[in-house]
Amino acid sequence: MPPPAPEAERAVEALMAASRAFVGLAARSLADLDVEVTLPQFRALVVLATRGPQRSVDISAELQVAPSTGTRMCDRLIRKGLIRRTRSGTDRRVVRLRLTPAGWSLVEEVIRRRRVELSRIVAATSAYWQPAVTEALTAFAAAAGELPEQEWWLGFTAPDEESATGA
């Protein structure tokens, strides 16, 4: 494989620095919450928020961890009251995990905190936010498999609907 072009290398270096900043922002958005949640655990909550109820093995695959690691992570989130297990109405062997109201609240609060911090950073760097930059970041996120935020809350049952259906 030939070495990357200087412009591509600069882009990779800029993205490496930005990714460190995003990880720091993610960690800060979880700090000082009543419930201690690690970044990987929060990512599991986000998977449930974006994709709806999932099997533990599906969460493990999404997070790219061994199934046993994913199961232990989900067990911890169940003990914290952030997710719960539900059995399928059609096949009692199928167990899916879903967010509890406390899990929903946590995801919403962390997203709110991130948005506030990102808004502050964008305001401080407003001269650089040309349409091409926004388009490039949107394309980057799509290529990485991230859903646009407006699509996060689609395709699953919200907490108040869960209680009405008895799920």
Band the pLDDT of 108: cuts 50, 70, 90.
very high
Q: How far apart are the first and last CA of the chain?
A: 52
CATH number of the domain where residue 134 is located: 1.10.10.10
Band the pLDDT of 165: cuts 50, 70, 90.
very low
- pLDDT for 88 equals 77
Give the count of domains, the chain. Answer: 1
Mean pLDDT of 65-76: 95
In a domain, 25, yes or no: no
In a domain, 164, yes or no: no
In a domain, 10, yes or no: no
- pLDDT for 119 equals 94
102, with CB counted inside 10 A (0-12, 13-18, 19+), is: middle
In a domain, 126, yes or no: yes
Q: Measure the CA–CA gap between 44 and 50, rounded to whole angstroms.
A: 10
pTM, rounded to two decimals:
0.78
- pLDDT for 152 equals 56
Band the pLDDT of 110: cuts 50, 70, 90.
very high
Q: Mean pLDDT in the chain?
A: 85
In a domain, 61, yes or no: yes
- pLDDT for 55 equals 93
Residue with tokens 């995003």: 22
pLDDT in tens, 12-67: 999 999 999 999 998 888 887 878 899 999 999 999 998 899 999 999 999 999 99
Mean pLDDT of 92-114: 92
Query: Residue 99 in contact with residue 83, Cβ under 8 Å?
Result: yes
Query: Residue 85 in contact with residue 97, Cβ under 8 Å?
Result: yes
- Residues spanned by the domain of 59: 34-158
Q: Is the pLDDT of residue 164 over 70?
A: no
In a domain, 7, yes or no: no
In a domain, 44, yes or no: yes
In a domain, 74, yes or no: yes
* % of the chain surpassing 90 pLDDT: 53
Band the pLDDT of 107: cuts 50, 70, 90.
very high
Crossing angle between the packed helical segments 39-51 and 6-30, to the nearest 10 degrees = 90
Q: What is the DSSP string of 105-121?
A: HHHHHHHHHHHHHHHHH
Query: Residue 84 in contact with residue 78, Cβ under 8 Å?
Result: yes
Q: Measure the CA–CA gap between 157 and 153, rounded to whole angstroms.
A: 9
